[in-house]
Amino acid sequence: MRAEVIARMDDVRAQRLEYEYNVMMAERWEALEHASSKLLKMVFRKHPELDICGLNTSDLALQDEFRTLMSAPADVHVDSSAFLMLKDQIEEIVERWRITFCLSPVSQ
């Protein structure tokens, strides 16, 4: 009986941790969407030709700088301001993405 109780408690704990992780990721995704809309507007203003490449929030989320924030430990507060801090790096990030996924050259 004791083993069954322990197994059930372990299962409940795993479910709780999964739920907490999913909530955290949903909150971070919402923050990323908010920040990326601002960052992408800035990029498209400077490089309108990138709009035809389909660059979007999901593409940014896959870049190392954004993934680092998305996968930060639960005790690290990540909100839209954390993503907006990448503003100074966004040109480099987008250029890396463009070279890999978009055939359109970026005019300087």
Taking CB atoms within 8 Å and a gap of at least 24, the contacts of 76-85 are 78/28, 78/31, 79/31, 80/31, 80/32, 80/34, 80/35, 81/35, 82/31, 82/35, 83/31, 83/32, 83/34, 83/35, 83/36, 83/39, 84/35, 84/38, 84/39
Check: pTM over 0.95? Answer yes or no. Answer: no
Answer yes or no: is 74 within a domain: yes
Number of domains in the chain: 1
Indicate whether 78 belongs to any domain. Answer: yes
What range defines the domain where residue 69 resides?
1-102
pLDDT, one tens digit for every residue, the chain (108 residues): 899 989 999 999 999 999 999 999 999 999 999 999 999 999 999 988 888 888 999 999 999 999 999 999 999 999 999 999 999 999 999 999 999 988 755 555
Residue 107 lies in a domain: no
